Amino acid sequence: MTHAWNQLLPRLQELADLNSTAALLYWDQAVLMPPKGAAGRARSTATLESIAHNRLTDPAIGELLNELAAEDSLEESQRATVRILKREYDRATKLPDKLVKELAQVTGVAYQAWTEAKPISDFAAFQPHLEKIVELKKEQADAIGFERERYDALLDMYEPGMTSTEVEAMFSQLTEGLAPVVDAVLGRAREDHEFLRGEYNDGAKEQLCRWLVEQLGFDTEGGRLDTSPHPFTSGIGLGDVRQTTRYANVGLMESLYAAIHETGHALYEQGLPAEWRDLPAGQVPSFGLHESQSRMWENQVGRNRCFTDWLLPHLKELFENELGTATPEEFHRAVNQPQRSLIRVEADELTYNLHIALRFELELALFRDELAVADLPDAWDEGMEKHLGVRPKSHAEGVLQDMHWSIGIQGYFPTYSLGTLYAAAFFAKAESELDGLTDDFRKGDTSRLLEWLRSNIHSKASLYEAKDLAEKVLGGPFSATPFVDYLKDKYRELYDLSI
């Protein structure tokens, strides 16, 4: 190892520890912290993020990076670390410490305000918090800089190199490819699967989810499953990956598929190389790639006919009265039921990306100064009617349904759609290389798929940019075609359609 690398490494370890502590504080706020702790927690996280920002922007790191960039004897993980850290350093040095600290403090309080405003459907109570966040995020984007769109500076934080223009093109391609499928399927899908709308015991739902995430490969000795108002997953540190779902006030399938979705994230975190844990190269290269794992496990696995055939008998053991008469065919159609849903996290595969398109349009309008925060509820309702043909009856099922804006991650939503496209492409590739893959699911065996993901994606961490890694895995350019083909095949079989 070079002298410069030996000097950089302890700084990276310190940054990793600071980030790990911040992640733990955020997890605690969402899962365990009493409501009155919001103000104190906001100050604590703001102080911690300020310290981390100061450590990252130390000029000594810039000097070490310049020295290492000229080295030709670095290992692959070291070269990737220098590339990623240089990008983070350049961006961080453009941000004033005061702004970093204020953003952390404001979002800490805003998240708590959101948790209180959503249950009573009171956007007015949350509005001043969101107005302050948007103001600070504009300052952040302006400080970082951008070529064409202010929003690009925010999008780049989650999907490096991605631009608003590319996102608009992605949604255009999706809309064009899905339009005939959506029209045909929604015109045919009129079943009302009443057995999924019963009162399912929360304790039994929890028992089911805890069993299922282990069946999928989640290591409970290296992680936890808890509850929170909005399901999420956080890699706290080496050997500590935490995911959440929810049981109260949602149906059986909502709890179940939220747990499967988050397990996809958690498996990715648990599959990252332990030896690179302190290095930027040891992290996930983009949030779109992270979403590809959760979307794949939720949909390509969790809603696959072979998997639902295996799952149903286990569900009947816990919910015999509610599901005792459901046939495998009825159950499979029920969990793949397309509908014009109001809630993103409950949306089916066919309409899910329309929910994301709406959020992208609203965020873009906010950061183009074309839309005021005060006008978001009406804009949301109108957008839902345009995209999905339904209109929310309350702020809780409309503009307040997601936590993302309360924690200041504007620019994140497009990664959900990108992840959806990655998921379909990766799964198609895995199927082509693993004979009889979906037959494994009839036995509840997903180990071969997990091994394939670990070998091709998880173990690579951030050695490559997300787009480059996708092309290496797929053996060619990445596109929306596998996703559109996957939906056509699924719904053609479900509804006997000629699409």
For residue 198, what pLDDT is reported? 79
Any idea which of 87-91, 150-154, 197-201 has the lowest mean pLDDT? Answer: 197-201
More confident residue, 290 or 199: 290
For residue 332, what pLDDT is reported? 95
Q: What percent of the chain has pLDDT over 70?
A: 99
Let me know: does 254 contact 224? Beta carbons within 8 Å. no
For residue 482, what pLDDT is reported? 92
Q: Distance (Å, rounded) from C-alpha 180 to C-alpha 488?
A: 10
Q: List pLDDT tens digits, range 289-309.
A: 999 999 999 999 999 999 999
pTM higher than the cut 0.85:
yes
For residue 326, what pLDDT is reported? 92
More confident residue, 101 or 171: 101
Query: Quick check: 197 pLDDT over 80?
Result: no
Query: Quick check: 191 pLDDT over 80?
Result: no
Query: Quick check: 77 pLDDT over 70?
Result: yes
For residue 97, what pLDDT is reported? 93
Mean pLDDT for the chain overall: 94
Query: Quick check: 472 pLDDT over 90?
Result: yes
Cα–Cα separations (whole angstroms), residue 458 to 52, 87, 125, 269: 26, 22, 41, 8
What is the mean pLDDT of the segment spanning 376-389?
Answer: 94
Shortest CA distance to 273 belongs to which of 283, 286, 285? Answer: 283
DSSP 325-380: T--HHHHHHHHT-----S-GGG--TTTHHHHHHHHHHHHHHHHTTSS-GGGHHHHH
What is the mean pLDDT of the segment spanning 87-100?
Answer: 96
Rounded to 10°, the helix 123-144/352-367 angle is: 70
Residue type, 253: M
Q: List pLDDT tens digits, range 215-254.
A: 999 999 999 999 998 899 999 999 999 999 999 888 899 9
Q: List pLDDT tens digits, range 401-450.
A: 999 999 999 999 999 999 999 999 999 999 999 999 999 999 999 999 99
Q: List pLDDT tens digits, range 104-134.
A: 999 999 999 999 999 999 999 999 999 999 9
Q: List pLDDT tens digits, range 338-378.
A: 888 899 988 889 899 999 999 999 999 999 999 999 999 99
For residue 391, what pLDDT is reported? 96
Q: Distance (Å, rounded) from C-alpha 269 to C-alpha 271?
A: 5
For residue 31, what pLDDT is reported? 97
Query: Quick check: 190 pLDDT over 80?
Result: no
Extents of the domains making up the chain? 3-145, 164-495
Q: What is the sign, positive or negative, of the torsion defined by CA atoms of 114, 23, 242, 85?
A: positive
Query: Quick check: 189 pLDDT over 80?
Result: no
Query: Quick check: 186 pLDDT over 80?
Result: yes
Q: List pLDDT tens digits, range 248-300.
A: 888 899 999 999 999 999 999 999 999 999 999 999 999 999 999 999 999 99
What is the mean pLDDT of the segment spanning 153-163?
Answer: 94
For residue 171, what pLDDT is reported? 86
The residue written with tokens 């040095």 in the block is 93
Please provide the CATH number assigned to the domain covering 164-495: 1.10.1370.30
Q: Among all residues, which ones are annotated catalytic?
A: 262
User: What is the band of 1 on the pLDDT scale with cuts at 50, 70, 90?
Assistant: low
Query: Quick check: 174 pLDDT over 90?
Result: no
For residue 469, what pLDDT is reported? 96
Shortest CA distance to 111 belongs to which of 227, 195, 205, 28? Answer: 28
The residue written with tokens 């692959």 in the block is 76
For residue 480, what pLDDT is reported? 86
